[in-house]
Amino acid sequence: MSFDFSTQLGDKRFSNPIFTASGCAGSGKELAQFFALEELGGIVTKSIMMKPRSGRATPRMAETPSGMLNSIGLQGPGIDRFLADDIPWLKSQNATIVISIAGESVEDYGLLAKKLDGIPGISAIEINISCPNVENRGQVFSCHVDTAYAAVNAVKTNLNLRIPLIAKLSPDVTNIADIAESVHSAGASGVALINTLLGMVIDTNTMKPKLAGKTGGLSGPAIRPVAVRAIYQVHQRLPQLSILGMGGVASGRDALELILAGASGISVGTATFGNPLAAIKVKNELQDLLIEKGFASVAAAVGFAHRDS
């Protein structure tokens, strides 16, 4: 039996369903020492903003049971330098590129879209509207249907490139399907589920928050059930919307769980910190597992947990 390991996000086809997660793969160069980047379905870049950004002060990290908090604060070189330095290098590696962007304002999202418009070789854009590590939590556009719509709409209306727009959502909301519906109506053909959950650790020796930024984003296997739930709910409401699933995926079994809930692609994030080869491991295990379960393709397994019988 032939097996089709390719997958589709929006109307774009990818060689396989395993991606890096935004902010978990550096510029790509760091991982290229361990595997060929073209092996993955795509490299999702760190979320790029209009201007250079120092990110937050340190400590930025705290390990938690089966997870970790991070408080990076979108450190990065800004879109101009990123397009000049990082994108040509990724292209030289034959990597499939998904650019992640983040704005401080709705206007920023439009400006970032214009910057990307003439750039060839981008397969999709992830619109990060859910980073928890910003000074003002009011900037988390994905917490309200109106702001989520506005940010995605700003990208859509300023972009002539016909590539999938994938809005990255926060699970820290009352009804994530409502938010997904809103970004879909604004022009997103996919959603990335889920960003980290906002958390805090207090050091019981110093009796102060462990992170300099006090709060951080919780990731890792600890949040996987939250991801499965969010993906399941969104797929149930909007089966036509592509889902790039993420949240504590460290094995093929974990990836399959998110696919069964409704994800068409899987990002491997925090697992890469513990194992530079995690994405390749997940890819190989997932392929074996899908074949073992008798699926002829990735598509056949997407949302399979929703069947009645």
Partner 1 sequence: MINKHARKIAAEIVSNKRVGTYHHMVFEVGDLAAFVRPGNFVAVSVGGEASSMILRRAFAVHRASAKTHIGGILELVVAPHGGGSKWLTSLPNGFKVDMVGPLGTSFGIPTENVRALLVGGGYGSAPLFGLAEVLKNRGSRVDMVLGASSAAKIYAPIEGKRSVNSMTITTDDGSAGLHGRVSEFLPEIIEKNNIEVIYSCGPMGMLAAISEIAALMQIPHQCAVEESMACGIGVCMTCVIPMKDADGVIKMQRSCIEGPVVSSERVIWNSNGKIPAGTWGEL
Active site members: 131
Contact 302, 190 (CB under 8 A): no
| Residues 129-168, mask of contacts with partner 1 (x by CB under 8 A) | ------x---------------------------------
Q: Contact with partner 1 (CB under 8 A): which of 273, 297, 300, 305?
A: 273
Q: Which is nearer to partner 1, 64 or 297 (CB)?
A: 64
Q: Which window, 4-12, 70-78, 115-123, 146-154, contacts partner 1 (CB under 8 A)? A: 70-78
Reported for 55-58, long-range contacts at CB under 8 A and 24+ positions apart, including other chains, are 55/133, 56/133, 56/212, 56/213, 57/212, 57/213, 58/212
Q: Which is nearer to partner 1, 99 or 159 (CB)?
A: 99
Smallest distance from partner 1 to CB 276, Å? 5
Smallest distance from partner 1 to CB 203, Å? 11
Specify the residue for token string 């009645």. 308
Q: Which window, 52-60, 114-122, 165-173, 233-241, contacts partner 1 (CB under 8 A)? A: 52-60
Return all residues near 118 (Cβ < 8 A) that are at least 6 apart: none
Q: Is cis: bond before 59, omega within 30 of 0?
A: yes
Q: Contact with partner 1 (CB under 8 A): which of 17, 41, 53, 267?
A: 53
Could you give the CA distance from residue 153 to residue 139 in angstroms, rounded to a whole number? 16
Smallest distance from partner 1 to CB 196, Å? 13
Q: Which two tokens stand for residue 187?
A: 């022009």
Q: Contact with partner 1 (CB under 8 A): which of 55, 107, 187, 237?
A: 55
Q: Which window, 8-16, 30-38, 89-97, 284-292, contacts partner 1 (CB under 8 A)? A: 30-38
Smallest distance from partner 1 to CB 74, Å? 9
**Residue 271 engages partner 1 in binding (rule: CB under 8 A):** yes
Tell me, by CB under 8 A, how many residues bind partner 1. 47
Q: Which is nearer to partner 1, 179 or 211 (CB)?
A: 211
**Residue 270 engages partner 1 in binding (rule: CB under 8 A):** yes
Q: Which is nearer to partner 1, 54 or 240 (CB)?
A: 54
Q: Which window, 65-73, 124-132, 154-162, 167-175, contacts partner 1 (CB under 8 A)? A: 65-73
Q: Which is nearer to partner 1, 5 or 273 (CB)?
A: 273
Contacts with partner 1 by CB under 8 A lie at 23-26, 29-31, 33-34, 46, 51-63, 65-68, 70, 72-73, 75-78, 135, 212, 220-221, 250, 270-277
